[in-house]
Amino acid sequence: MRIAILGGDGYCGWATALHLSSKGHSIAIIDNFCRRQWDFELGVQTLTPIRPLPERLAVWQQLTGRTIETFVGDVADYEFLASMISTFRPEAIVHFAEQRSAPYSMIDQKHAVFTQVNNVVGTLNLLFAIRELAPDCHIVKLGTMGEYGTPNIDIEEGFITIEHNGRRDTLPFPKQPGSFYHLSKVHDSHNITFACKIWGLRATDLNQGVVYGTLTDEVQMDEVLINRFDYDEVFGTVLNRFCAQAAIGWPLTVYGKGGQTRGFLDIRDTVRCIELVCLNPAERGEFRVFNQFTEQFSVLELAKLIQTVAREMDIRVEIDHLPDPRVEAEAHYYNAKHSRLADLGLEPHLLSDSLVNSLINIAVRYRDRIDPAMFAPQVNWRVGRNQRRTLSNLRQEPLVVKEPMSL
């Protein structure tokens, strides 16, 4: 297949591009490198050193003989996006090209507005471009389990059948997003649903859990191909933060009681899920939703698991509880259905099999690059614009990338 990866220089996009290329698909990466710019803006860096995209792709071609095309530009620019689709002629488009951090979207008014404009407008541009230029192209959209929130009922896969006043209908599952970022994903879902209904487009919304791991079969082929490992408070995940803290003997910082429960999956399962969905596309006019995760853990369960594994490696760490800067339930019911990808053939990797090699060992290997100042929470959901705590390293340049970053 011909598959375009929007945001192909990022964490999920890079691993997906290499995996699909290794399977013989014709791949194009579309990116404007703003994810790299946000690191500069925040004064942080990924734990693993990430090489420029041309260098990465040159090594990939040397190792495999496979070429991945690149289109440098912004999906918020409709003319650029339309030109890419006309030139590459994709059969499927995997859409990772969004600002994906909840804390980033909660820094202040500017970051909230940027997140929603960037994400919603980019997706709208994609929908119109496909309608005009490639109406049979399958949209594979990265959603988030955060769209659902933490309701006190089981979370279904996108839709729920209800009875009300003697009548019965199947409706979109209620959304309770917890940040301006998660709200942008809800808006995306509504816009895609509408476009499929009125224009007959085909789309799959993958409501993904928290992804972990740096290693896939393809990434392991050469050091130059290594993927991101974000552990900072804004773009890092709680699991990555705990592993980085353990690597230097720092206390594991649990927000509040630590009962916050979420779905998790290995990056190897992410790329396999994308492949399965591309090979089994939605029908014309169909909008379908898959919940993309393999296991559930609370934050405290993760901390205790890492503490135990670290001790087996002769690394002793304690667990500290900090006030939760987010507005979220610290103890709640959480049971989300996730059977549709398994029905397509997904065989999941488990965290217990990935924790040491793909996470803790990577953190230990690069621990000289760990900056403990990045652990502390500095973005507070509750404070207003005039009271917010400013990120110590945050520079106040414009957020919108006017020209593609040259790398």
Q: Give me 148's structure tokens.
A: 């659902």
Please give the C-alpha separations between residue 34 and each of 41, 55, 106, 385, in angstroms, as whole numbers.
10, 18, 18, 24
All residues at 6 or more sequence positions from 174 whose CB lies less than 8 Å from its CB, including other chains: 148, 151, 160
Q: Which of the following is catalytic: 46, 150, 185, 270?
A: 185
How far is Cα 45 from Cα 364, in angstroms, rounded to an integer?
Answer: 16
Please give the C-alpha separations between residue 227 and each of 49, 61, 199, in angstroms, as whole numbers.
8, 17, 37
How far is Cα 164 from Cα 300, in angstroms, rounded to an integer?
Answer: 38
From 125, 103, 114, 140, select the one nearest 292 (Cα to Cα): 140
Indicate if 197 belongs to the active site: no
| 380 C-beta neighbours (distance < 10 Å), count | 18
211, β-bridge pairs: 265
Length of the chain: 407
How far is Cα 268 from Cα 388, in angstroms, rounded to an integer?
Answer: 38
Q: Which of the following is catalytic: 11, 104, 148, 181?
A: 181
Q: Which of the following is catalytic: 144, 214, 261, 270?
A: 144
| 41 C-beta neighbours (distance < 10 Å), count | 19
Question: What helix, strand, coil percent values describe the chain, rounded to 5?
Answer: 40, 20, 40
Indicate if 185 belongs to the active site: yes
Indicate if 141 belongs to the active site: no
As annotated, the active-site residues are 144, 181, 185
